[in-house]
Structures are given as structure tokens and as C-alpha cells.
Amino acid sequence: MAPAPRWSRTERRPAGFRMIPPARLSLVAALLVILARPSLAQEFAPRIEPSWPESLFRFFDLGPEPGEGGDPESIEEENLDFIETDRNSLTGAPLVTGRGVGIMELAYSYLNFPNEGVKHSFPESLFRFGITRRIELRVGWNYETGGPEEFEEGNIAARFGVNAESQIYYGTKIQLTAQEGLRPRSALLLQGHTPTGGPTTATQIRAGLISGWELPNDWTFDWAVRFAPDGEDGDGYEMWIPSAVIKFPFAENRFFTHLEFFGLYSANKEQNISSNFLDTGLHYLITPDLEIGTIIGMQLQENPGYFVNVGLGFRF
């Protein structure tokens, strides 16, 4: 029996049969694979940037979805490792508390500067609460007693607040970035200070940028710049308060010490202020949610003054 004849490209196909071109067959197969794997379908789908209201909601975690890239989640995970207080250095923490997390901070400062007498500052209270992954609200109150009220001293004790015997401060901190490679973690601080006693009555606003990195050896380096319009006896001027701190953990990261520099500089003032400070401290994490510590600092000048601060912070 003779073998069945083979079809050639020029021969006719049997009636009712239609060959699908190979290129079209490959395209159909690719579409089936994409439909079977939604992740691939998303990968090949055109990327449409969200409108600015949607982008704003995603950034501040106001919508149902945290947004692409997992950045808000990484911020939340970074914040939940252990408590990060603003009181353990004058630079402050470049992190917010995290959504639904509260932190209460309390401290006492003893200040002794030449020709200014001794001042006591307490309770330096600050309550911080995270309303989203990126935003915390903050409110506090402080009282100072003893010695004349001078700008430098009042600002050291009350986180650069108004020159008042007692004051309430309030505001917000907004997380801008989480650390990723060389990109630092950073936060924007906006805070108002309203006197509740003493010779000053005007509310003043402080704005600041805090940023820094966690280094490979678990050290951290943070820096901050604060700015504030101010005035005294009709003399309007601006204050700039730069600072930088490096923190060194030890004993399985339960203890850490720090070395910090900060300065107070005025601009457009009749008699400008220029003062530099150096401080260090020792801090202990009793639990991941409870920190206690002390800070001692001195003014860098021929006849230096000094200050001592002790306090705690707890997270709930």
C-alpha cells in the first residue's frame, strides 16, 4: 500500500480546513497566557498616573488603598520597631508615631547660664498621636520658673518655643520619606506656641525639616533645620536653629548614647544672636515601648553655661 501523500505549501487543503498563520497563532497564545496570569496583564497594561486628589489621598493614607510601591507600609514597619521619642535629642526623630499609636513624653530641665540665673523647666509634656501612617498630631504644655526670660534659654527648654513663663504648643509632623538606599528618612514639623503666662502674649510658629539615616552598624545620623519669624520690643527678625546628632546603641540596642551639636542664629535683628551648643546623653529602653534618659549640654563660649535634662517617653 502506497503511503499517504504529504501536503506541500502549494497544495490545496481538504474541504472545510483552514490553516492559522503561525504569527497569528503566537499572538493568540500570548494573549491566553496574559489573561491566565493577571500580574502579567497588569505589567503590560498602560500605566495611568492617578489624578492629583487621588495621589494626595494615597500620600496621606486617607483612602482605602495605601498606594503603590508599599512605601506607606515600610514607613509603618519602620516606626513600629521601638519607640522613637522627640525628647532624647534636640534634633528630634525623623519618624512619626504610626497610625493609631500614641506617645507621651515628659521631662525636666535645669538650666544655668552666666548672668541669667538658674531656671527650671517642667513638665515639658508632649503628646503625639498618629492619625495616619504619615501624619501625627502633637500637643504639649510647659512651665518655666526662675531667672529672667531670655531667648536662648527658653528655646532650649521648650524646643525653641516662645519666650514665656508657661506655654502650650501644638502642631503636626508629616512623614515625607522612608529610608531606601541613599534616600534618607525625613519629616516636616509644623508647630505653634501660644503663651499661657508671662510677659509674652503673641503666638509664634515654628517650621522644621528633620532627616537622617540608620547606618549599617545600627548607628543613626539625623539632622534638622528649624526656622521661625520672631520679634522683641518691635524688633522683627528670623531665627535659624540647625542641629545634627549621631546615636550609638550598645548592650543589644537596649542602651544608646549620642553626641549632638546645635546652634541658635538670628537674622535681621538689631543685635543678632549667635550661640553654639554641644550635648551628650545616655538613654535606656526598658521595653520597646518605654524609654528613659538624660541629656547634659554646654554652651561653647569662654564662660559657658550648661543644662541638664532628664525624662521619659512611653508608647501605647
Residue 69, pLDDT score:
42
Helix (H) or strand (E) holding 49: none
pTM for the predicted model, two decimal places: 0.74
Residue 157, pLDDT score:
43
Residue 304, pLDDT score:
87
108 in Cβ contact with 124 (< 8 Å): yes
Q: Where are the beta strands (DSSP E) in 16-149?
A: 102-113, 117-130, 135-145
Residue type, 189: L
Residue 11, pLDDT score:
38
Q: Which residues face 168 on adjacent strands?
A: 141, 194
201-228 burial, b if ≥16 CB within 10 A, otherwise e? eeebebebebbbbbeeeeebebbbebbb
Q: CA–CA separation, 281 vs 296, rounded Å? A: 6
Residue 185, pLDDT score:
95
**Domain ranges in the chain?**
70-311
| Run means of pLDDT, 10 residues per run, the chain, 316 residues | 39 43 55 47 42 56 43 55 91 94 95 81 95 96 72 44 74 94 95 82 88 93 91 74 96 94 87 89 96 95 90 96
Residue 295, pLDDT score:
97
Residue 270, pLDDT score:
78
Residue 197, pLDDT score:
78
CATH number of 70-311: 2.40.160.40
Residue 141, pLDDT score:
94
- Of 301, 315, 14, the C-alpha closest to 152 is 301
User: Backbone phi, then psi, for 280, in 5-degree steps?
Assistant: -140, 175
Q: CA–CA separation, 239 vs 193, rounded Å? A: 15
